[in-house]
Amino acid sequence: MKRLSICSTIILILTVGAYVSREGATIKIYVTGRDARSLISDFNSQMDGPRLELVKSESDADVSVEFKDNIGDPSADAVSHAYRGHIAIANSAPTSALTPILAHELLHCAGESHDEDPASVMYPKTRSQVKLRESQIRDLRRLSGITWPERLVPQCRNLF
C-alpha cells in the first residue's frame, strides 16, 4: 500500500509539472455541428495568445467543440468539461457572441473559474470582446498538446 501511495504521488507531481511547464503556440480544435472556419478565423484575429487550428479528427484535437440544440443547461450558452477537453455550445447562442463564448469555455478547459469583473471574458454570461490577461494566455497555451492525465489538473482547479 505504501508503494502505491508513493507511485501515485510521483505520478501526480509529474503530471502537474508537465501541465504547468507546457507553452504551446497552437490549440488543435475539432468542431462538430456547424462550420466553424469563420469562428476560428475571428478567434485568431482577436487573440494575443495561442492560435486555434481546426483538425479533421477528434483524436488529433486538444479540445473538441460540439454545437447542439440541448447542452443540458437551458440557461447557458455553453458548457465545458475540462476533464474531457470538451465544449458544448448551444445552437441558440448569438452568432455575434461566439468568439467570447469560445474563449470563456476554452479557459474553463484550461482551469480558469468565473471572475467577478464584468469586463472579464471569465465573467458569467460574458458577451464582451476578447481581452485576455497574461495569466489567461499562459493557461490557454497549456492546452496545446495536453494529455488525458494532465486534464485532471485544470479540472481540479475549476473546483476551487
Is 86 within 8 Å of 66 (Cβ atoms)? Answer: yes
pLDDT at 147: 81
pLDDT at 2 over 80: no
Strands (E), the chain: 26-32, 51-54, 63-68, 78-81, 86-90
pLDDT digits (tens, 9 = 90+) for 84-114: 999 999 999 999 899 999 999 999 999 999 9
Sign of CA dihedral 16, 18, 24, 30: negative
Look up the pTM and report it.
0.84
d(CA 16, CA 100): 28
Q: What is the pLDDT of residues 5-46, one digit of tens each?
A: 665 565 556 555 555 555 778 999 999 999 999 999 999 998
Question: Where do we find the cell 455553453?
Answer: 78
Judge whether residue 50 has pLDDT over 70: yes
Report d(CA 143, CA 123) in Å as an integer.
Answer: 21
Vertex 103: Cα angle to 128 and 61 (nearest 5) = 160
pLDDT-derived band at 153 (thresholds 50, 70, 90) equals: confident
Cα gap 98→36, rounded to integer Å = 10
What is the separation, in whole angstroms, between the first and last Cα of the chain? 29
| Domain span holding position 34 | 2-155
Cell of 158: 475549476
Q: Is residue 58 part of a domain?
A: yes
State the total domains in the chain. Answer: 1
Three-class secondary structure of residue 88 per DSSP? strand
Tell me whether residue 160 is in a domain.
no
Find where cell 488525458 sits. Answer: 148
Q: How far apart are CA 20 and CA 34, in angstroms?
A: 32
pLDDT of residue 6: 64
Mean pLDDT of the chain: 85
- Domain CATH for 146: 3.40.390
